[in-house]
Amino acid sequence: MAQATAIRLTGDDLGIADVWTVAVGRAAVELSDRSRERMRAARALVERTAHGAREHTYGVNTGFGRFVSRSIPEELTGELQLRLLRSHACGVGDPYPDEIVRAALVLRVNALAKGTSGATVELVEALLELLNRGVLPYVPSRGSVGASGDLAPLAHLALPLIGEGSAWVDGQLLDGADALRAVGLEPMRLGAKEGLSLINGTQFMAAFGALGLVRARRLAAAADIACALSLEALQGSRTSFIPQIHTLRPLRGQADSAANVLRLLEGSAIIEAHRWCDKVQDAYSLRCAPQVHGASRDLLDYVDYTVSVEVNAATDNPLVLLDDEVLVSNGNFHGQPLAFALDALAMAVSELANISERRIERLVNPNLSDGLPAFLTTDGGLNSGFMIPQYVAASLVSENKSLCHPASVDSIPTSAGQEDHVSMGNASGLKAWQVLANVERALAIELLAGAQAVEFLAPLQPGAGVAAARAHVRGISPRLDDDRPLSADIEGVAGSIRDGSLVAAVEAEIGELA
């Protein structure tokens, strides 16, 4: 669905890659005609419910949460929605990353485009205009328990629509009314149920899932590339990666990872030079890499399934069921599926760094590296070489171990016991986001160390894929001769993992990796 022109939202077929294209690539977004038709039909049903028969309908003519039994007079239904946004906008802490906010915007619009929430087309188009005109709501990142959806964050996301809250425009933080004026928009007036339609959903959790999964897939490929580079530098064996082994334990991720490493090693003069050496087995961090990397890949497949469903799901309450002509209370807003998936994502990528750090240790430790100079420097003592980058990798891996404790196993009842089980999925997302960054940096350190190490084996050259990876790294970070600060080098290589340019550079040489 991703395309050079605007991405058209239907509520049914938004892909994870599309979310990345909008949130990171800043692609424009538009509504489909079919989604407008469904929204108008759903809105008509809401209007009949709000202004017709006065039976209790949650969020239309009742209070919220524990106040569900409190009837709201018809003339106050709009005021009810306004106060809902104000009361729920009480998030605290640092704001979400910009790309998470943009992802949440497009996901919220896509959910409303399904025509199961009952918001007016005009309100949804106004929300879309915030995205297309570069208005970025200021949304504190703490305050969601992940049931009834991401209530506090989504309330902050919606406030600029009514001229309240605050938002970034062209790098300047403005109050909501000024932000709208800066891009030629007017504040919206909310009708029955519209405030609830804006805040009842899982879009911040889903944003972490969608964008995090793109980063995680790139990390899985980068881990195979880093492993192949280290295998060359440590003069390991390719035998552990041959397909005959992996067909005997036919796990897809394991087979894909092994196949990647074999392709990366093709044409290696280094591997060929020690084909008949007396080393019988490599260490587990090399020999078992397909089994470890592959297990992470398989876990990411589960995350992919869950998030792919969620980005096109109806997670409002109540839902407008047009075929049945009824508004029905439900629990689709509960974030437990995403909470589990986000915790799994963190664990999956964390293990890629865990095994990577062990390979870094082998590269820098002269007792383990089979002839490489200590800490990959030729003037050890005066220079420390890659001694401290291994410390950094160890610190990142250790931090991940704490961050991977699952938030999804916790629940604290809210709303005086009305909402007596919650998912804590927002915490899962925040932790996963930090784990992703830590793993990108840990793998960057292995790539830097591997590029340095393999050069000590010259004139023997590595395989074509490994050579392409080394060249990419060298385009960011020159060879380390005399010591210099490596922070910028690590961040630069980590950024190339995150934006996909590392994998793209390798694939340009050897074809697409699994």
Where do the domains of the chain lie?
7-68+77-201, 208-409+421-510
Cβ contact 34:322 at 8 Å: no
Question: pLDDT tier at 1 (50, 70, 90 boundaries)?
Answer: very low
Is residue 5 scored above 80 in pLDDT?
no
The pLDDT of residue 68 is: 67
Q: Which two tokens stand for residue 384?
A: 């420390």
Nearest to 230 by CA among 420, 71, 450: 450
Cβ contact 363:450 at 8 Å: yes
Cα–Cα distance for residue pair 453/466, rounded to 1 Å: 12
Cβ-count burial 79-97 (b if 16+ within 10 Å, e if not): ebbbebbeebbebeeebbb
Give the pLDDT mean for 422-443. 98
Q: Which two tokens stand for residue 152?
A: 């506090």
The pLDDT of residue 3 is: 46
Give the pLDDT mean for 259-263. 98
CATH number for the domain whose boundaries are 208-409+421-510: 1.20.200.10
Q: Share the mean pLDDT of the chain.
A: 94
Is residue 276 scored above 50 in pLDDT?
yes
Give the pLDDT mean for 150-179. 98
Nearest to 116 by CA among 315, 313, 320: 320
Who has greater pLDDT, 70 or 248?
248
From 58, 96, 138, 391, the catalytic residue? 58
Is residue 400 scored above 70 in pLDDT?
yes
Residue 319 has, within 13 A of its CA and on its CB side, a CA count of 18
pLDDT tens-digit readout, 297-308:
999 999 999 999
Question: pLDDT tier at 77 (50, 70, 90 boundaries)?
Answer: confident
58 a catalytic residue: yes
Question: pLDDT tier at 285 (50, 70, 90 boundaries)?
Answer: very high
| Residues with Cβ within 8 Å of residue 499, at least 6 apart in sequence | none
195, 221, 223, 230 from 294: Cα distances, Å: 44, 11, 10, 18
Give the pLDDT mean for 65-91. 84
The pLDDT of residue 61 is: 72
Q: Quick one: CA torsion of 16, 446, 361, 296, rounded to 10 degrees? A: 20
CATH topology of domain 7-68+77-201: Fumarase C; Chain B, domain 1 (1.10.275)
Give the pLDDT mean for 22-42. 96
